Amino acid sequence: MSQGEFRAGAFARPTFKSLISRIVFMHIVAVAVVAIFLPLVLFWLLNSEVDQLHRDAMRAQAEVLAERIVPQADGTFAFNLPDSLRGLYSDAYGRYQYDIRDGEGRLLFSSVRRTGAAAAVPRLSETISGAGVTRIIDGQTVRIQVAEDLAHRDVIIDDIISNFFRRVGWITIPILLILLATDIIIFRRALAPLWKASEEASNIGPARTDIRLPTEQIPREIMPLVTAVNQAFDRLEDGFRVQRQFTADAAHQLRTPLAILRTRIETLGDGAARQALHADIEAMSRIVIQLLEIAELDTLVIDPGETADLRAVCAEVVGSIAPFAIAQHKDIALKGTDAPVTIHGNAVMLQRAIFNLAENAIKFTAKDTSVDVVVDDDGAVRVRDCGPGIAETERELIFQRFWRADRRRSDGAGLGLSIVRGVTDDHNATVAVENLPGGGAQFTLRFRLADKAAIASSLPAHSQVRTG
């Protein structure tokens, strides 16, 4: 399924591959919404606060006016507006007004000159803000009302409100953006263990099925995923193990029938047919052994502290394969250093690799020529033959399982060099192939020397320069 099809399904809803871009997107939406609504809410709160302030101020003024109402002996009231306030309530100023009424609502005093007592509320412009207090003065109810014309509102307060957006309101946007940046940093840090887990996961392959994702430092929310993935790996590892075990078991099971076949052939009388059958059985037995070696190689984990004497291994291989070479009128010799060469590795696995190389070389070297196994004190082994050499184009192919240069040959399944590659891979060693100037192929395996210092000190001075 292509990405396009998938996107089409999720119409109008952006899909993000990255968790962080998803968070950024959601955050930007949230910032936009907040950037619009927060100032509006603040503006409304500020306004209602200002209104409240006004009402309180009006009430305070009404109380001041109430103190100026003096009861007269005749039961009426006198009202002495001080000069300091008179200006405020003047028609000329036109901002404040007051009405003072008695218990029945009759107008006693007013800042507005008016005929009659019709107007219950002082008539100013459309928008007014006012407050009133009721006092019992000398047994009579008096109601004092003060109003302010909002069209003439306090300039300072108006300025604060109208400047709010310009001066203060914009600050919400950078604050929200800083918050966004902080969130991204927090998320990146929170995701760091996941990056580490991904790196670990990239090492998992058919050869290393034992690795699991680290569970320490993984956020609890993601833990179920990591655990589930690890459990999936467990099941995969089991699957691989079953597969390898099958190869090993199959090879094992073939051994007894092969032994029967071989022994039966040997009871036949001498003859060309018997010789041929014998050779076939030899080849088949060798394939079965190689399959077992591969199955074992697939499960092998070399102890990093394990060391082996490369020269001793090569001596054993040359010794064990010499009868095979002699039978084919070919020769094999061990050359190079006489001293032990201690390298990191498993002796049995090394022996298999070098055996397969030597076997291959004997197979291809010409009759009456020699295969040389040369051990260097720098941890290299060279296996040289006097055969046709290996074409440039085939130098990588030869290490593949079941690859054979000449498919008409029936003396092998093409497993030997894949075992060599498997062993060198397991040993962090290298294998190189080249053709010799005088004809023939040379395979060079380079292993890591163990405990270099100790070996260097036991060698003559000129060798130290080379190995050190």
Partner 1 sequence: MRREPCGFTGNAMRLLIVEDNAELSRLVAAGLAAAGYESDIVGSAGEAREAVSSVSYAAMILDLGLPDGDGLSVLRELRRQMEPLPVLVLTARGGLQDRVQGLRSGADDYLAKPFAMEELVARLEAILRRPGQLLGRSLCLANLVYDTESRQIFVDDQPRIISARETSVLEILLRRQGRVVPKKNVEDHIFGLEGEVASNAVEVYVSRLRKQLAEHGAKVVIHTIRGVGYLMAEEK
**Binding residues for partner 1, per CB under 8 A?**
248, 252-253, 255-256, 258-264, 266-267, 281, 285, 288-289, 292, 296, 315, 318-320, 322-323, 326, 332-336, 348, 373
- Phi-psi group of 73: left, alpha or beta (phi > 0 → left; psi -120 to 50 → alpha; rest → beta): alpha
Q: 370 vs 463, which CB is nearer to partner 1?
A: 370
Q: 36 vs 348, which CB is nearer to partner 1?
A: 348
Shortest separation between residue 318's beta carbon and partner 1, angstroms:
5
SS3 at position 382: strand
In whole angstroms, give the CA distance from residue 164 to residue 313: 87
In whole angstroms, give the CA distance from residue 232 to residue 441: 45
Q: 102 vs 378, which CB is nearer to partner 1?
A: 378
Q: 117 vs 374, which CB is nearer to partner 1?
A: 374
Alpha helices, DSSP H only, in 68-153?
A: 83-86
Answer whether 429's CB lies under 8 Å from 378's CB: no
Shortest separation between residue 468's beta carbon and partner 1, angstroms:
26
Q: 222 vs 315, which CB is nearer to partner 1?
A: 315
Six token digits for residue 217: 């430092």
Six token digits for residue 62: 């009404």
Shortest separation between residue 361's beta carbon and partner 1, angstroms:
15
Q: 326 vs 454, which CB is nearer to partner 1?
A: 326
Q: 108 vs 358, which CB is nearer to partner 1?
A: 358
- Phi-psi group of 125: left, alpha or beta (phi > 0 → left; psi -120 to 50 → alpha; rest → beta): beta
Shortest separation between residue 431's beta carbon and partner 1, angstroms:
21
SS3 at position 446: strand
Contacts of 28 (CB under 8 A, 6+ apart): 180
Shortest separation between residue 282's beta carbon and partner 1, angstroms:
9
According to the 3-state scheme, what is the secondary structure of 163-218?
Answer: HHHHHHHHHHHHHHHHHHHHHHHHHHHHHHHHHHHHHHHHCCECCECCCCCCCCCC
Shortest separation between residue 25's beta carbon and partner 1, angstroms:
58
SS3 at position 461: helix
Q: 334 vs 450, which CB is nearer to partner 1?
A: 334
- Phi-psi group of 409: left, alpha or beta (phi > 0 → left; psi -120 to 50 → alpha; rest → beta): beta
In whole angstroms, give the CA distance from residue 451 to residue 342: 8
Shortest separation between residue 219's beta carbon and partner 1, angstroms:
43
Shortest separation between residue 10's beta carbon and partner 1, angstroms:
55
Selection from 304, 264, 258, 314 nearest residue 285 by Cα: 258
Q: 336 vs 387, which CB is nearer to partner 1?
A: 336
Total number of residues shown for the chain? 468
Shortest separation between residue 311's beta carbon and partner 1, angstroms:
9
Q: 148 vs 372, which CB is nearer to partner 1?
A: 372
Shortest separation between residue 399's beta carbon and partner 1, angstroms:
22
Answer whether 129's CB lies under 8 Å from 148's CB: yes
Answer whether 76's CB lies under 8 Å from 109's CB: no
Q: How many CB atoms lie within 10 A of CB 422?
A: 24
